Structures are given as structure tokens and as C-alpha cells.
Amino acid sequence: MDVISVIRAKRDGKALTDEQIDWVIDAYTHGAVADEQMSALAMAILLNGMTRAEIARWTAAMIASGERMDFSTLTRPTADKHSTGGVGDKITLPLAPLVAACGAAVPQLSGRGLGHTGGTLDKLEAIPGWRATLTNSELLATLESAGAVICAAGDGLAPADKKLYALRDVTGTVESVPLIASSIMSKKIAEGTGSLVLDVKVGSGAFMKTLDDARELAATMVGLGNDNGVRTVALLTDMSTPLGRTAGNALEVRESLDVLAGGGPADVVELTLALAREMLTAAGLPDADPAKALADGSAMDHWRRMITAQGGDPDAPLPQARERHTVHAAASGTLARMDAYDVGLAAWRLGAGRAHKEDPVQAGAGVEMHAKPGDPVTEGQPLLTLHTDTPEKFPYALAALTGAYAIGGEAAPQRCIVLDRIA
């Protein structure tokens, strides 16, 4: 078998055979298929799609490329959550310790930024000393001591996905439903969690722009999970406006700490609690009260244990960018709109994301929003603050924000954060 015939088959709109899928995933994992060849195949998949049978086989091949974890020795039920990616989406940070405080174990294997969307690991690496890479024994020990762990998938867990994940980020193939679904679910199934809640984002700042596309992705992933013995449910959530008031790594950690301290932006708190309730129900703990765990400080206690167990200093000052630029309101009125994609693109251009898979990110870079849609603003007041270590990036970020917001007589009606539920 050769990779050119596989690429041509998908280029021409044909369904790949089980043998072709198994071979190309194994060959790519072991270096017999080059990045440029897999890039061509990924683009063909994005353009021509895959059948459900192809997606299931592609996912199985990704799982088979590595090991599978086992959490049966834990005394708590396991529950995990995955977001398809958004702007200002720092939900995992307060959510994992919150669910742990309510009695579940949360083995949260997370990723890095993709395109204009932020990555949980990039955010947490803004904390001095914190490390994303743990051995399996360290992961289990942290789950026992802190109840939650947020870390990178080990090299042995779906290694095919680890290579393809980074490649998709820099080849314009992130948005493919088959590649998103198989990437997420191969890791989650191999991870061994007992239950999984998916946060499928919808809107301008998400990879899925419409409810129909988001439902297709959610249904595909829910089916893959349940077919493989993982209790899986999905929430479709709004990503037309950035979550919270920050987009950027250290900025979002700071905002997450506000939530764990009992404050924080209302939309971040609302979604954190909604996902926590779904996770606890799926884990068999429907009577647990996550709102109480936020209010009484127990979620913060679990956060501190989790960060400390992974080498981080929960009391250390977070990095701040060396340069700032403030955008002021040009008129008085109501902030009618703040577009999630444009804000995410600006944060990416400031250094919060990467253009090449080897690129570092700036811990302090990002965008701070001083108003949300529906808020009254006065001419001349600060509307946005841009943060970066490289001030020559300001013009490019400002160009991304040219049409990002509008001030008018009244704001457009805001959608509910949770738009639908797929079980």
C-alpha cells in the first residue's frame, strides 16, 4: 500500500477502506508518511468528508497507535470534559478542581492552542513551575491527592493524534468534523475516563459556525464515546462573544482564579456550573452542589493542591506583558457586539497563539475587554487593552479588531450560553 493512492482516493471523494485507514495512521505514526503527505490527506478529508464508518475506523486506528489507561484503582468515579475550542474559554481551569471538590476524579487531558482558539496547557504554563507532562504514576498520584489533574496526553496515548493535532493547526485543516471528532475521542477513549461531557462551541469564534454543524459534530462524538463504553453527553454553547473579559494565557488564569474565589464574570461562572452539573450527573453524583463548592472555598483548595502537585506555585505572581495599548470608545451608547473570532485573532497576533507548531507563546499576551455586549459605554472610556512583549505586533492586532465591535442604541439580544444538549 502507498500513501499516494490513499490521498488520491480521498481527493476523488471515495470512502477509504479499513485497510487504508489502518495503514496510513500506522505509517504516519512511525514516520513512513511525511508531514506534507498527511497534510494533503487532511485537506482532502476536510473538503470531501468521511462516512460514519470511516470516522469510527480512523478513531479506532488512532487509539490503536498507542496505549490505553486504566483508572479502575481509583476510589472515585471519573469524569472528564472537553471543549472544541473558543476565545476566552478558560472553563477547564476552574471546572476541574470544582468537580473534584464535589467527589469525582477528573483526569483532564488537554491540548494547546489551535489557530485563533486558546489552549488550556498554554494557559497553565503561565504559572511559574507548572508542568504539563506527567508520567502515568504521577497522574494517578495527583488524582488521588488533589482529585483532579490537567496535563498533556503522554507520548504513549494516541501518538498518531499528537502528530496530526499539531499539523492541522498550521495547514488550515482544523475545522474538519471527522478530524475534530476522531482527535478528541481517540484521546478521551484511550484515556479511560468513565464519563465525558463535551462542550461543543457554536458561533464566529468557534470552528463550528452554525448549530447544524455543531449538532453534527456533537452527535458524531457522542456516538463514538457511547459505542466505546464511555458515558458521553454534549452541550452546545455560544461562542459568538468571547467568554469572560480576557483572551490570553496569564490573563485567563487570573480570571479563573477570580471564579474560584467566588467572583468572576457571570458568563464564565454560569457555564462552569452547567458543565459541572453534567459531569457530576454522568459520574453518578447528581446530588452534589457545585455552587456550594465555589462559595465555600473547597474548589480553590483543590486548585491549589492540583497546581502544587504539578510543580507550580499557586502563590507566585503571574507574568505580565511588557507593553500595553488601550483602545478607547469612539462614541457613547451601548456596546452592541464584540466578535469572538476577531478578538481571538487579535490575541493570536499579539503572541498568545502560534503560527508554526514549534512556536512558543507569550504568557502575558492577549486582549482584555472592559465592556461586554449590553454594557453602556462613554466616549473616550477604555474599551480594550492589548497586551504583548512585542509592540510591533500592535498594528496587526488592531487591524483584526477593525470590525470587531459596534456601539449603538441597544445591543442585539444575547443568546443563552447553553444552546442545546445532545445525549
Q: Kindly write down the DSSP assignment for every residue of 244-263, as one continuous string.
A: TTEEEHHHHHHHHHHHHTT-
In angstroms, the Cα distances linking 218 to 162, 193, 198, 233, 366 are: 21, 18, 8, 8, 29
Same domain as 93, residue 20? no
In a domain, 75, yes or no: no
Same domain as 179, residue 112? yes
Q: Using an 8 Å Cβ cutoff, are 94 and 260 in contact?
A: yes
Per the confidence metrics, is the pTM higher than 0.85? Answer: yes
- 253, 284, 309 - which closes a domain: 309
pLDDT surpassing 90 at residue 362: yes
> Domain limits at 364?
323-408
pLDDT surpassing 70 at residue 216: yes
In a domain, 333, yes or no: yes
Written as one letter, the residue type at 116 is H
Distance CA 193, CA 189 (A): 7
- Helix, strand, or coil (residue 176): coil
Model confidence band, residue 411 (pLDDT cutoffs 50, 70, 90): low
Question: Cβ of 153: how many Cβ atoms within 10 Å?
Answer: 23
The CATH number that applies at residue 110 is 3.40.1030.10
| 365 closest CA partner among 357, 353, 379, 375 | 353
Residue with cell 468571547: 242
Distance CA 161, CA 189 (A): 13
Supply angle C-alpha 151, 390, 127, rounded to 5.
25
Length of the chain: 423
In a domain, 358, yes or no: yes
Partners of residue 388 on adjacent β-strands = 323
- 281, 309, 337 - which closes a domain: 309
In a domain, 57, yes or no: no
Question: What's the average model confidence in pLDDT over 390-410?
Answer: 94
- Helix, strand, or coil (residue 34): coil
Same domain as 248, residue 282? yes
Return the pLDDT at 95: 98
Same domain as 174, residue 42? no
Question: What's the average model confidence in pLDDT over 233-249?
Answer: 97
DSSP label at 30?
A: T
As given in the structure block, the three cell numbers for residue 221 are 462524538
The torsion of the CA quartet 5, 9, 10, 12, rounded to 10 degrees, works out to 130
Question: What's the average model confidence in pLDDT over 181-204?
Answer: 94
Residue with cell 511525511: 34
Same domain as 302, residue 277? yes
The CATH number that applies at residue 380 is 3.90.1170.30
In a domain, 113, yes or no: yes
Same domain as 131, residue 190? yes
As given in the structure block, the three cell numbers for residue 76 are 472515585
Which of residues 39 and 136 earns the better pLDDT score?
39
As given in the structure block, the three cell numbers for residue 385 are 487593552
In a domain, 282, yes or no: yes
Same domain as 228, residue 195? yes
In a domain, 73, yes or no: no
Question: Cβ of 130: how many Cβ atoms within 10 Å?
Answer: 23
Model confidence band, residue 111 (pLDDT cutoffs 50, 70, 90): confident
pLDDT surpassing 70 at residue 243: yes
Distance CA 255, CA 242 (A): 13
pLDDT surpassing 70 at residue 385: yes
Model confidence band, residue 96 (pLDDT cutoffs 50, 70, 90): very high
The CATH number that applies at residue 36 is 1.20.970.10
Same domain as 262, residue 230? yes
In a domain, 54, yes or no: no
pLDDT surpassing 80 at residue 357: no
DSSP label at 174?
A: T
Question: Cβ of 263: how many Cβ atoms within 10 Å?
Answer: 13
Dihedral sign for Cα atoms in the order 87, 90, 96, 99: negative
Same domain as 253, residue 190? yes
- Helix, strand, or coil (residue 146): helix
Q: 82-104 burial string, b = 16+ CB within 10 Å, else e?
A: bbbbbbbbbbbbbbbbbbbbbbb
Residue with cell 505586533: 393
Q: Looking at the annotation, which residues are catalytic?
A: 82, 161, 168, 183, 187
- 266, 286, 309 - which closes a domain: 309
Distance CA 15, CA 26 (A): 18
Residue with cell 476510589: 75
**Number of domains forming the structure of the chain:** 3
pLDDT surpassing 80 at residue 5: yes
Same domain as 238, residue 302? yes
| 243 closest CA partner among 260, 221, 268, 222 | 268
Same domain as 337, residue 279? no
Same domain as 384, residue 289? no
Distance CA 14, CA 23 (A): 17
Question: What's the average model confidence in pLDDT over 186-195?
Answer: 93
